[in-house]
């Protein structure tokens, strides 16, 4: 078995980064055939009892949507948008127009409180992207995330105050080493490889993690399942396959998601997170994976922002590890 061990563990994000295999129990052809039979039978049943129903969808009230995080060694980043109706169309202009520019955002570590400054990136077509972070010039108005510390967030917008709190855990659950193996069950076993890692879980329950992968000069991408608890692996040392992250703005081939290629340089961003951050991404990713499933049961996305706002404020204790896969 060809292997390659990982490089030195680092807490510093790799330069150029902008942020983070499951066994198939049923064969895909059999699953598709079964689903077709179920849907065809269900359609025949419904066709015998059709009834036209007209109803008017009401416009929902506009809510604040929050995407906020603070990571080890990094400034906090807060993105604020206005919520959209469920059946709204979504494009770059609508997202741009939903960005909130007039909020007052503060973050506190308990020892120090600072007001974040608004940053606005303008793109062709008068489209813009707005986020709040620390003043890059004035050190007195800066704050970087530290392991083991708690933080609180306060947002004032539209005469309302919204709050949230999070913590950056002490880095306890560890990614110890990486290696690669030739990919099984694929048409191209010479070029495709799978990545594996060895993990150490502390003896106490309640250790939550999130991971992402960066391949060559790509950004960090998260997989469809990027967060995990330690319910089944508490206090153990275990080896597991690490699937490649995916760009969720693109159509992806589920069969190809797990694989990397010979010659790739792979960096893993492995983050210890708190329970609130885990719950938000667990429920968000479940909803994402279930989109389009006619038998999907709606799941409430669990956020931690007060006063009826959507979204979350999360803390990430980050470590990075890289591995170079030799070319053919």
pLDDT confidence of 311, banded at 50, 70, 90?
Answer: very high
Residue 179 domain-assigned (yes or no): yes
Is the pLDDT assigned to residue 57 strictly greater than 80? no
State whether 72 and 157 are in the same domain: yes
13: nearest Cα among 319, 219, 221: 319
What is the average pLDDT across 73-90?
Answer: 87
Buried b (16+ CB within 10 A) or exposed e, 291-322: eeeeeeeeeebebbbeeebebbbbbbbbbbbb
Name the band, by pLDDT with cuts 50, 70 and 90, for residue 208: very high
- Confidence bin at 42 (pLDDT 50/70/90): very low
Whole-angstrom distance, CA of residue 73 vs CA of residue 52: 58
CB 173 within 8 A of CB 201: yes
Go through the chain and tell me how many residues it has: 328
Q: Are residues 179 and 275 in the same domain?
A: yes
Mean pLDDT (the chain, rounded): 83
Whether residue 197 is contained in a domain is answered as: yes
pLDDT at 295: 60
Q: Could you give phi then psi for residue 36, rounded to 5 degrees?
A: -60, -40
Q: Is the pLDDT of residue 185 over 80?
A: no
Q: How far apart are CA 180 and CA 163, in angstroms?
A: 44
End of a domain among 112, 141, 167?
A: 167
Same domain, 146 and 197: no
Residue 284 has φ and ψ, to the nearest 5°, of -65, -45
Residue 100 phi, psi (nearest 5): -100, 125
pLDDT at 211 (0 to 100): 96
Residue-by-residue DSSP string for 127-162: EEEEEEE--SS-GGG---B-TT-EEEEEEEETTEEE
Whether 37 shows a pLDDT value over 60: the answer reads: no
Q: Where does the pLDDT of residue 41 fall: very low under 50, low under 70, confident under 90, or very high at 90 and above?
A: very low
Tell me the C-alpha distance between 239 and 199, whole Å: 6
DSSP secondary structure string for all residues of 91-134: -HHHHHHHB--S-EEEEE-SS-EEE-EEEEEEETTTEEEEEEE-
User: Residue 32 — pLDDT band, cuts 50, 70, 90?
Assistant: very low
In three-state secondary structure terms, 39 is helix
More confident of the two residues 70 and 42: 70
Total domains in the fold of the chain: 2
pLDDT in tens, 243-297: 999 987 777 666 667 899 999 999 999 999 999 999 999 999 988 877 656 566 6
Q: For residues 193 and 87, which has the higher predicted lDDT (pLDDT)? A: 193
- Are residues 152 and 194 both part of a single domain? no
Q: What is the pLDDT of residue 21?
A: 29
Beta bridge partners of 43: none
Whole-number Å distance between alpha carbons of 85 and 132: 24
Same domain, 288 and 213: yes
The average pLDDT across 224-229 equals 94
CB count within 10 Å of CB 47 equals 8
Residues 189 and 145 in one domain: no
Domain final residue, candidates 167, 199, 219? 167
Residue 265 counted as domain residue: yes
Whether the pLDDT of residue 5 is over 80: the answer is no
- H helices within 202-306, ranges in order? 275-290
Closest to 227 in 3D by CA, of 269, 170, 285: 285
pLDDT attached to residue 255: 63
Does 59 map to a domain? no
- Strand runs (DSSP E) across the chain, as ranges? 64-71, 77-82, 104-108, 113-115, 117-123, 127-133, 150-157, 160-167, 174-182, 192-200, 208-215, 221-228, 237-242, 260-261, 265-273, 310-324
Co-location of 285 and 188 in the same domain? yes
As a whole-number percent, the residues of the chain with pLDDT over 90 amount to 64
**For residue 9, what are its two tokens?**
């563990």
Q: Give the per-residue pLDDT at 212.
A: 96
Angle, alpha carbons 144-165-108 (nearest 5°) = 45
High-pLDDT (> 70) share of the chain, %:
77
Query: What is the spatial distance between Cα 310 and Cα 67, in angstroms, rounded to a whole number?
Result: 9
286 or 173: which carries more pLDDT confidence?
A: 173
Quote the pLDDT of residue 85.
76
Q: Residue 287: give its domain's CATH number.
A: 2.60.40
Domain that includes residue 141, residue range: 64-167
């Amino acid at each position: 078995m060809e292997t390659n061990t990982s490089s030195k563990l680092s807490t510093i994000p790799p330069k150029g980064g902008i942020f983070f295999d499951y066994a198939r129990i049923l064969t895909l052809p059999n699953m598709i055939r079964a689903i077709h039979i179920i849907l065809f039978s269900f359609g025949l049943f419904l066709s015998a009892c059709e009834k036209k129903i007209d109803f008017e969808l009401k416009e929902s009230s506009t809510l604040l949507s929050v995407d906020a995080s603070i990571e080890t060694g990094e400034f906090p980043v807060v993105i604020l948008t206005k919520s959209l109706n469920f059946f709204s169309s979504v494009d770059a202009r609508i997202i741009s127009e939903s960005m909130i520019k007039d909020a007052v955002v503060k973050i506190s570590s308990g020892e120090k409180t600072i007001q974040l400054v608004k940053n606005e990136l303008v793109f062709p077509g008068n489209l813009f992207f707005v986020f709040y972070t620390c003043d890059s010039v004035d050190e007195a108005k800066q704050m970087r995330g530290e392991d083991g510390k708690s933080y609180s967030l306060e947002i004032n917008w539209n005469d309302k105050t919204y709050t949230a709190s999070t913590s950056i855990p002490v880095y306890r659950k560890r990614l110890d080493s990486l290696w690669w193996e030739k990919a099984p069950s694929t048409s191209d076993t010479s070029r495709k490889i799978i990545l594996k890692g060895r993990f150490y879980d502390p003896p106490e329950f309640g250790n939550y993690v999130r991971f992402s992968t960066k391949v060559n000069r790509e950004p960090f991408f998260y997989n469809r399942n990027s967060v995990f608890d330690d319910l089944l692996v508490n206090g153990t040392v275990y080896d597991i396959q690490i699937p490649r992250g995916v760009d969720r703005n693109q159509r992806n081939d589920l069969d190809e998601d797990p694989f990397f290629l010979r010659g790739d340089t792979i960096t893993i961003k492995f983050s210890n997170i708190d329970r609130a951050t885990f719950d938000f991404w667990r429920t968000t990713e479940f909803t994402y994976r279930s989109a389009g499933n006619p038998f999907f049961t709606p799941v409430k996305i669990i956020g931690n922002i007060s006063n009826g706002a959507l979204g979350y404020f999360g803390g990430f204790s980050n470590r990075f590890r890289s591995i170079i896969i030799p070319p053919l």
